[in-house]
Every structure is written in C-alpha cells, then in structure tokens.
Amino acid sequence: NAGVMQNPRHLVRRRGQEARLRCSPMKGHSHVYWYRQLPEEGLKFMVYLQKENIIDESGMPKERFSAEFPKEGPSILRIQQVVRGDSAAYFCASSPGQVLNTEAFFGQGTRLTVV
Amino acid sequence: QKEVEQNSGPLSVPEGAIASLNCTYSDRGSQSFFWYRQYSGKSPELIMSIYSNGDKEDGRFTAQLNKASQYVSLLIRDSQPSDSATYLCALTFTGTASKLTFGTGTRLQVTL
C-alpha cells in the first residue's frame, strides 16, 4: 500500500520559468492538501482539494499559483513565473475524509530551488 | 488571529528520560489535534491524533488534551537518540474542518 507519492523530489527552475509539482494520494484517499515550508519555518496551508474541486484555497497566493485535482491522475500544484522567494519545500498530504475526523499523511515533498 | 504556539526549543533530555512537549492554541472550539514528527530535511510523519479530553497512549507516546485550558501535550517515555527531531503540533480551528494549522515545532534533542 503505497503512501502519498510526490514528484519530482527536487526541482530547480530559473526565475520566470514554470514549476509543476505532482502529488498522488494514498489509495482510498480523496482529499488532498498542499503545504509550503520555508527554511526554518513551519508548515503553511496553501490549498485543499477533492476530485475536480478546489474546496479551500485561502492559503494560496492570488497570483502565479494554481492547483488542480482532476478526475484522473495526480493533483498538480503549478507555479508560474517563479521567483527566488518561491524556493521552499512543498508537501502534499492526503486523507480519506476531512481532517476534522480523519488523519492526514504526508508525501516526501518537492524541494523547489529557484536560481 | 488563530494561533498554535510551541516553544521552539531545543529541548534537551538524556536518553531514557521522559520528554514533554507542549502546545497551546487560541481557539476554544478546536476539535481535532495531531502530533507530527519531522526529521531534518524529511517530511512530517504522523505520531498521534487525539480528539477528546484526557490521555491517549500509543507505545512510548502519550498525547494529553485539555480543551478547557487549550493545550495539548506529547510525552515520550524512555527517550531514544532516534527521537531527536522537530515535533509539530497541528489542529483544526472552528469552521476550518478542511485544513490543519501547524505550530512552528519544538526541536527535541535526546543526548547519550
């Protein structure tokens, strides 16, 4: 039973390029969450999705960032026109239901470096 | 402003001792509480969840929740060097069942 799978594990992008981060939830999990962790800082919520729906994107910057969780395939976090401040670890978590009632498990993360 | 507060540490305990990690939160209506462990450069790993007042034990770990005083703690018995990590407290705030809010974590060092 595979855990939450994220790829790539490491991603280097030049300023102005696009970054695409992928997350496949655990089997049986239909709720996906994206978090960002800056060096020496805590985990900050970005977005919560269910299949084909964005439920809560209150933590996501209004510009350049978007997320989707299509009917088929992984969830994708897209960052357009990356800047150095986007360099961080991006973690995806999944749960079988809302975290009010269930537990969320994290993937290994994607470490984005913008040069 | 809804907050989750943790002492950043480091908390240093000798091997075999009990480590006590604390977390306070601002929202009296919070219902779901979690402790995650994060090794340096790694992803958060779920240790415990707790939803009701009182203690919940799992092996060497005990989570304690006191909603009236708005704190949740994690006790680690017989601490081992492999327990050295950052421990993150996370919870759901009232009206935000869709997301976990994390504290900044307490770094634990277990010394030989």
A95: tokens are 């749960």
Query: Do β-strands B61-66 and B54-58 pair in parallel, antiparallel, or remain unpaired?
Result: antiparallel
Per-residue pLDDT reduced to its tens digit, A68-111 = 999 999 999 999 999 999 999 999 999 988 877 788 999 999 99
- Tens digit of each residue's pLDDT, chain B (112 residues): 678 999 988 999 999 999 999 999 998 888 899 999 999 999 999 999 999 999 999 999 999 999 999 999 999 999 999 999 999 999 988 777 678 899 999 999 999 9
Look at residue B17 and give its three-state secondary structure: coil
Shortest CB distance from A100 goes to which of B42, B45, B92? B92
The count of C-alpha atoms lying within 13 angstroms of the C-alpha of B52, restricted to the half-sphere facing its C-beta, is 4
CB contact under 8 A, A45 and B99: yes
Portion 53-82 of B in contact with A at CB < 8 A: none
B79: tokens are 């601490």
